Amino acid sequence: FKQLESQDETIANLKNNLLKLEQEYQQKAASLTNQRTLAAEKLSKKLTALLKTLRLEDALVSIILKASNLSTPSSHGNEMCEFLIKTNRDQNLSSLSHSVSGGELSRLALATQVAIAEIEGTPSLIFDEVDVGIGGGTAEIVGKLLRKMGNNTQVMCITHLAQVASQADQHIRVSKSIVNNITRTNIEYLNKSERIAELARMIGGLTITPQTLLHAQELLENAGH
């Protein structure tokens, strides 16, 4: 009976508490929006600069904040982030899914990991064929960038490119074999001579010539190994 008598007061208190919580949420969400705005501008510039070093000289990245239009408070704040990019001078900025090739997306993924690693100090990074769709000089630049990251964090990279593999401090060969109709995975740490042979295989395929071996040795020596 007492609860029924105080029902109006209880409802009023609940409404006041709800209003206070909504105000507190909006204050914190606004603070988060301000921090995101500054971070988005900083990261956009960083990614653009990194992509230029990865042979995308005309690339431009822009991270924009879009209102989430949610009717109720969200643990993610009041907006969503969208990455816009253009990789050619005559293009307009557009979403990633509409404007980048596989190779460009790989380089953007690498650039993002590099930028984040510099801020967060990630202890270990694993790249699974981040160099897909690239080759030649760009592959060498990617390899050097991965090696530079290795000065501050552990980097493990799965690659099929000799230019990338030659930059590694350690080269591990992963292969499969069939033993008694069972597929087995073999992992081998390669010494210098084995690395040269493996790099030559990556360069030349099934036919390995003396010239291919010399090229492989040159890659390794140019990387300082």
CB 165 within 8 Å of CB 173: no
CB 210 within 8 Å of CB 195: no
Amino acid, single-letter form, for residue 86: K
User: Residue 1 pLDDT more than 60?
Assistant: no
The structure tokens 């005559």 sit at: 90
CB 199 within 8 Å of CB 158: no
CB 167 within 8 Å of CB 146: yes
Q: What is the pLDDT of residues 122-152, one digit of tens each?
A: 788 888 877 777 878 888 898 998 998 888 8
Query: What's the token pair of residue 54?
Result: 């990865």
Q: Which of 76, 65, 73, 69 is nearest to 37 (CA)?
A: 65
**In the structure, what pLDDT confidence band is assigned to residue 3 with cuts at 50, 70 and 90?**
low
Q: Which long-range contacts (CB under 8 A, 24 or more apart) does 50-57 make?
A: 50/110, 50/111, 50/114, 50/115, 51/87, 51/107, 51/108, 51/111, 53/141, 53/145, 54/107, 54/110, 54/111, 54/138, 54/141, 54/142, 54/145, 55/107, 55/137, 55/138, 55/141, 56/87, 56/104, 56/107
| pLDDT average, residue stretch 47-61 | 92
User: Residue 167 pLDDT more than 70?
Assistant: yes
The structure tokens 């740490």 sit at: 189
| pLDDT average, residue stretch 153-174 | 93
Q: What is the pLDDT of residues 100-126, one digit of tens each?
A: 777 788 888 888 888 887 777 778 888
| pLDDT average, residue stretch 78-93 | 90
